[in-house]
Amino acid sequence: MHPITPLKLEPDVDDRVQASIQECAARHAEVGRLLTHVTHDLDMLLLQNLQEEPVPYREPVHETTAVNAHFSAQLHALYEQLAAYHARTAASLAEAKLASIDEEKGVQVEITVGCQSFVRYPHCQHPIYHARRLTLQNPETLPSLPFVLKLRILHGSGPVQDFQFSRVRPVSLRVPPECLVHLPGVVEIELSWLWEWLPVPAAGQPIRHFTRVWEGPWRDARHDFGAAIEKQEEMLGLRIPATLTKARLWF
């Protein structure tokens, strides 16, 4: 059985992130406003499989590793490019017709985790209901962004809104705390349903088939979140800023 081959459609993640930031800044500049809102979509690697090759029933570990590395690289690029944009002079931004960051109100950063796509979609549903969670590699190397006051992370729904969580890549619940500790001025965080399992086991077989069954008390992913909050310096390297006063968590 031949594995699915990951394809990277956008090799330079820095260019994509820079384009997203500049697009947001240009829209703010057009209406005479300072930059207060930055949005960026984290794309998944496109997975291809030739017609003559059978699609595996379970995603191989090396494919998950490649997708996770791409996810992590995009998060690092977002932080680094935001820091680089903040360091630009007002004159260079004005020349490029880009808005400067609103130092008083701060910036809201909204990250959307895209759905997984395939060149040829598997007939079996196991490969499109992903079990392994995406993690952030080397979070200690993220730059500090004191001007970011709100962080929002959510999942994309694909071309058609569906509530079956198909093609959604679950995100480890340690990722938000790992991002937060590098935002010393953060005031608010919003996580829209990063935990993609139902909170209780479903009774009916059709529901269990088309949704995510609870992992059970020992494998519950919320343990990672609880440990990161209780042992911040040990697990995260830094403490979550005391400026954080509002949190909206859906999991």
| Mean pLDDT in residue range 139-157 | 93
- Residue 81 phi/psi, 5-degree rounding, is -75, -30
Q: pTM of this prediction?
A: 0.86
More confidently predicted of 248 and 9:
248
Q: Identify the CA nearest to 197 among candidates 207, 208, 181, 212.
A: 212
Query: What's at 18, amino acid-wise?
Result: Q
Can you read off the two tokens belonging to residue 230?
């209780």
Can you read off the two tokens belonging to residue 54?
């059978």
Predicted pLDDT at 114: 85
Predicted pLDDT at 201: 58
| Mean pLDDT in residue range 221-246 | 92
For the chain, the helix, strand and coil percentages under 3-state DSSP, each to the nearest 5: 35, 15, 50
Q: Identify the CA nearest to 38 among candidates 28, 24, 27.
A: 24
Is the pLDDT score of 9 beyond 90?
Answer: no
| Mean pLDDT in residue range 130-156 | 92
- Alpha carbon distance 120, 240 (integer Å): 42
- Which DSSP state fits 116? P
Average pLDDT, rounded, for the chain: 83
| Mean pLDDT in residue range 162-188 | 86
Is residue 85 within 8 A of residue 21, CB to CB? The reply is: yes
Query: What angle (nearest 5°) sits at the alpha carbon of residue 114, between those of residues 88 and 119?
Result: 120
- List the beta bridge partners of residue 155: 113
| Mean pLDDT in residue range 141-154 | 97
| Mean pLDDT in residue range 165-176 | 84
Is the pLDDT score of 215 beyond 90?
Answer: no
Predicted pLDDT at 157: 61
Can you read off the two tokens belonging to residue 10?
């956008």
Where are the chain's structural domains? 7-249
More confidently predicted of 133 and 10:
133
Predicted pLDDT at 1: 45
More confidently predicted of 88 and 1:
88
For residue 47, name the pLDDT band (cuts at 50, 70, 90).
confident
Is residue 114 within 8 A of residue 70, CB to CB? The reply is: no
- Which DSSP state fits 228? H
Is the pLDDT score of 117 beyond 90?
Answer: no
- Give the tens place of pLDDT for each residue, 61-76: 888 898 899 999 999 9
| Mean pLDDT in residue range 195-204 | 58
C-alpha 33 chain-centroid distance: 27
Predicted pLDDT at 58: 72
